[in-house]
Structure 1
Amino acid sequence: MSVRGSGEISTNRKAGRDFHISDKFEAGIELKGTEVKSIRAGKINVSDAFARVEKGQVFLYGCNIQPWETAAEWFNHTAQRPRRLLLHKQEIFKLEQAMALQGCTLPLLRMYWKDRRVKVEIGIGKGKTHSDQRHDLKKKVELREAQREIQRFNRK
């Protein structure tokens, strides 16, 4: 858990594995008070979260923020509701073009605190094929083995 007001809330490691990320955007997110309390408590899952441009606005889908336990039922939020992202018009236009022309998706990369506000980082992602994923895994293994050999050599 991070210090209140700054730091990482959650990271979507699945997005880095499944997509080639070409560009990143920082966006504000429209939340209710009970959602902020749940985020502070760490009750959030962003592994399947993605954004979509609809009618000139960007909405975040698949972000699971658990309801706050002590809040009244009528005051609480639903866990999987679409949440509006706050971006400039030029950024929304770029995202819309990337989705329409290039066939890209907008996965949520991470959620973090910035000056007591919750911010999200979304990326323009092109899906990786299965062979791309295997190639990345092979590269990681080779890098890890090379680091081990360097450490072994430096110990002598």
Structure 2
Amino acid sequence: MAKGGGKKSAAAARAAANRLLADNRLARHQYDILETLETGIELVGTEVKSIRAGQANLRDGFCLIRNGELQLHNVHISPHTHASGYFNHDPLRVRRLLAHRREIDKLRGQLDQKGLTLIPLNLHLQGSWIKLTLGLGKGRKLHDKRAAEKDKQIKKETRAALSRY
């Protein structure tokens, strides 16, 4: 038996405890992300089970600040399959995000600028807690998207060329 066998299982447990649950890949294409913020999210039990099963869709989501609270809108979390209809949650309900007052005030000041918006980037586990990463983004125009795609392609080709030598 090899030494350090227990360390592999501990590393695997840490990786499983910090895994990605849902990702909004389209957001990074449509927006220039200027700043990110990790927040908690207020969920009910069936939502937690559905998210852990990978049943969350962040694609059309956005965040607003109402009554001094961060709110997550238009994020679809599918109803849990093993729960009855009475105990299940509404898939598109508005969810409260948990952040410090100072962070919310800073975001409010930045959102007052023209063209900036808060978008959900990913849902991930941090220990046993489900966290949401928000991005403060500025919408890209079509020519910006093309330029970004071209730069990405050039970087990919140079990496491939360097790996051959």
Question: Could you state the TM-score of these two structures normalised by the residue count of structure 1?
Answer: 0.91
Count, aligned residues:
152
Q: Which runs of structure 2 are paired with 1:84-123 in the superposition (5 Å)?
A: 84-123=96-135
Matching residue's letter, 1:133: K
Aligned match for 2:82, one of 41, 64, 70 = 70
Runs of 4+ in 1 over 6 A off after TM superposition: none
Give deviations 1:77-117, integer Å, cap 9, x for gaps.
Answer: 01111100001001111111111234410011111001201
Query: Partners in 1 of 2:153 and 2:36 — Cα distance?
Result: 27
Deviation at 1:63, TM superposition (A): 1.2
Deviates more, 1:135-144 or 1:24-33: 135-144
Give deviations 1:24-79, integer Å, cap 9, x for gaps.
Answer: 11100000000001111111111121111011001001211100112121110011
Query: Partners in 2 of 1:5 and 1:35 — Cα distance?
Result: 18
The unaligned stretches of length 5 or more in structure 1 are: none
Residue equivalent to 2:31? 19
Secondary structure of 2:43's match? coil
Query: Partners in 2 of 1:74 and 1:66 — Cα distance?
Result: 15
Measured at CA, do residues 138 and 55 of structure 1 come closer, stay the same or move farther in structure 2, by a change above 3 Å?
Answer: same
The unaligned stretches of length 5 or more in structure 2 are: 1-12
Residue equivalent to 1:137? 149
Question: Could you state the TM-score of these two structures normalised by the residue count of structure 2?
Answer: 0.86
Residue equivalent to 1:53? 65
Matching residue's letter, 2:143: S
Query: C-alpha root-mean-square deviation of aligned residues, in Å?
Result: 1.6
Residue equivalent to 2:53? 41
